Chain A
Amino acid sequence: MNTYELVIIGGGPAGLSAAKVAAEAGLHSLVIERDYKIGGQLVKQTHMFFGSEKQYAKTRGIDIASILIDDVKRHPDKIEVMTGTTVVGLYPDHVITLLQGEEYKKIKAEAIIIATGASEKFLAFENNDLPGIYGAGAVQTLMNVHGVLPGHDVVMVGSGNIGLIVSYQLMQAGVNVKMVLEAADTIGGYKVHASKLKRLGVDIRTRMSVKKAIGTTELNQIEIAWLDDSWQFIDGTEQRVDVDALCISVGLSPLSSLAAMIGCEMKFVPLLGGNVPIIDEYHETTVKNVFVAGDVCGVEEASSAIVEGYYAGLMVAKRLGHEHPDFAARKADYETQLDNLRSGPFGEKTRLGLLELRGERHV
């Protein structure tokens, strides 16, 4: 059985950033990626990011992916990348089982960073399995990675940043976005993204959601309706809209099942998106030498995932006896960057969620 110093599960922004800093500190790592290429969800992000220069603000997501991949390629002697490989089992003695095509393999690691990201939440409504109903992230992959349009007339459910950005990209691709529905009183995402849609004439309707999908073999119509204060549909307010595709964008939830599998103590924190491993200030879980970074320990943006990756890489390297030459300065810098990213009204969820996770405050 091959033993690695560090195994990083997930080749997205968090995993790649962790590998980079760990390599700079002198640590060997293996990055395992389920997809056929690394870069994670950044590869489909054609919009420019916010944040600061340090997390590549004003750069398009797809270009940030290239930068992070180049960073990893700069350390061929330190970082090994395995694509098309899924971790199927994670055991308390740090044995990791892998599936590569049909082949089943076992490896071992001194330390593990779980950086598996998040997956899209789904909604329960009538006929929600009709062809033509997609997650918004799935539509973004279909369009921006594979060049396939989901339909001609689309309604987006959810006005968080993903819902707004994907709606805009659908319009750019020539798809008619008929409206964006938002169950809450206010638009969830950044105003700049919402304004771009409004300028194109897309209606964003708050306190409304999808009640039912209509069609026999594929989606033809949806029924939408108003919501009352307790999120129940108000009878008599139903309207029908002709669509051939519906995008669901109601948030992400951490893909934390591997952390649970290896025995990390978990906590359900809605502010962080769902079930997350309890971590200390070094991003270590309750299982020794098992660390986490990125959306798996709380859904945020790619910018935060990058910095958390750097941070976890720095911490793991120190743990395994490879303290980074600039350890103290790097640590302080990453902490400041995370604080800055989480300042302001949009970071409040994460700030409160982390407090709740660490038991410092009950929300």
Chain B
Amino acid sequence: MNKNNVIICRCEDVTLQELHDVLEEGYTTFEDVKRILRIGMGPCQASTCGLLVQQEIAKFLGTSVKNIETHVTRPLTMGVKLGKIKEAADDES
């Protein structure tokens, strides 16, 4: 299998090879790989790749997927223009 052709995160175009390389380097939490690869940070916010990432980390660590913590979700879930956030704040005051 050519892992360079297996897409794990479609939004940020991250391959299985890139994920495995980062795991090999010792970054084995979802939060780590998210920060390094931007995996799960695109429009779908990991709703597609989240489980695949958990499975790959579990496989690498030789444990159950239940033991792999998922990523932290934070606002905002979609791109919002800064100007619009300012407008909303101005309306409030």
A contact residues vs B (CB 8 Å cutoff): 1, 86-91, 97, 99, 102-106, 119-122, 124-129, 212, 253, 255, 257-258, 260-261, 266, 268, 270, 274-275
Cross-chain contact A253 with B51 (CB below 8 angstroms):
yes
- The minimal Cβ–Cβ distance linking B2 to chain A, given in whole angstroms, is 6
With A125-B6, A126-B6, A268-B66 given, is the CB distance from A119 to B51 under 8 Å?
Answer: no
Q: Which residue of B lies closest to A254 (CB)?
A: B47
By a CB distance below 8 angstroms, the chain A residues around B74 are: 261
Q: Which residue of A lies closest to B4 (CB)?
A: A126
Cross-chain contact B50 with A253 (CB below 8 angstroms):
yes
By a CB distance below 8 angstroms, the chain A residues around B51 are: 121-122, 253, 274
Q: Which residue of B lies closest to A116 (CB)?
A: B47
Name A275's contact: one of B52, B70, B75, B84 (CB within 8 Å). B70
Q: Which residue of A lies closest to B70 (CB)?
A: A275
- The minimal Cβ–Cβ distance linking A298 to chain B, given in whole angstroms, is 15
* With A125-B6, A126-B5, A257-B47 already in contact, 16 other A-B pairs whose C-beta atoms are closer than 8 Å: A1-B92, A88-B77, A88-B80, A89-B76, A91-B75, A99-B76, A99-B80, A102-B81, A105-B88, A119-B48, A253-B51, A257-B46, A257-B77, A260-B72, A266-B70, A274-B51
Cross-chain contact A106 with B47 (CB below 8 angstroms):
no
By a CB distance below 8 angstroms, the chain A residues around B70 are: 260, 266, 268, 275
Q: Check: B49 CB closer than 8 A to any chain A CB.
A: yes
Name B75's contact: one of A129, A255, A261 (CB within 8 Å). A261
By a CB distance below 8 angstroms, the chain B residues around A266 are: 70
**Interface mask (B23-55 → A, CB under 8 Å = 1, otherwise 0):** 000000000000000000000111111111010
Name A99's contact: one of B1, B56, B78 (CB within 8 Å). B78
Q: Which residue of B lies closest to A212 (CB)?
A: B1
Q: Which residue of B lies closest to A255 (CB)?
A: B47
**Interface mask (B50-90 → A, CB under 8 Å = 1, otherwise 0):** 11101010000000011010101111111011001101100
Cross-chain contact B66 with A103 (CB below 8 angstroms):
no
By a CB distance below 8 angstroms, the chain B residues around A105 are: 88
Cross-chain contact B8 with A124 (CB below 8 angstroms):
yes
- The minimal Cβ–Cβ distance linking A239 to chain B, given in whole angstroms, is 17
With A91-B75, A119-B47 given, is the CB distance from A104 to B80 under 8 Å?
Answer: yes
Cross-chain contact B78 with A270 (CB below 8 angstroms):
no
Cross-chain contact B75 with A97 (CB below 8 angstroms):
yes
- The minimal Cβ–Cβ distance linking A197 to chain B, given in whole angstroms, is 27
CA distance A120 to B49 in the complex (A): 10
Cross-chain contact B52 with A104 (CB below 8 angstroms):
no
CA distance A275 to B70 in the complex (A): 8
Q: Which of B45, B47, B81, B84 has the most CB of A within 10 A?
A: B47
Sample (24) of A-B pairs whose CB atoms are under 8 Å apart: A99-B76, A103-B84, A104-B80, A104-B81, A105-B88, A119-B44, A119-B47, A120-B48, A121-B51, A122-B48, A122-B52, A124-B6, A124-B56, A125-B6, A126-B1, A127-B6, A129-B7, A129-B10, A253-B47, A253-B50, A253-B51, A255-B47, A258-B73, A270-B66
- The minimal Cβ–Cβ distance linking A238 to chain B, given in whole angstroms, is 12
With A122-B48, A268-B70 given, is the CB distance from A127 to B88 under 8 Å?
Answer: no
Q: Which residue of A lies closest to B84 (CB)?
A: A104
Q: Which of B56, B72, B76 has the most CB of A within 10 A?
A: B76
- The minimal Cβ–Cβ distance linking B9 to chain A, given in whole angstroms, is 10
Cross-chain contact B78 with A88 (CB below 8 angstroms):
yes
Cross-chain contact A106 with B6 (CB below 8 angstroms):
no
- The minimal Cβ–Cβ distance linking B67 to chain A, given in whole angstroms, is 9
Cβ-closest 6 pairs across A and B? A89-B75, A257-B73, A88-B76, A104-B84, A129-B7, A119-B47
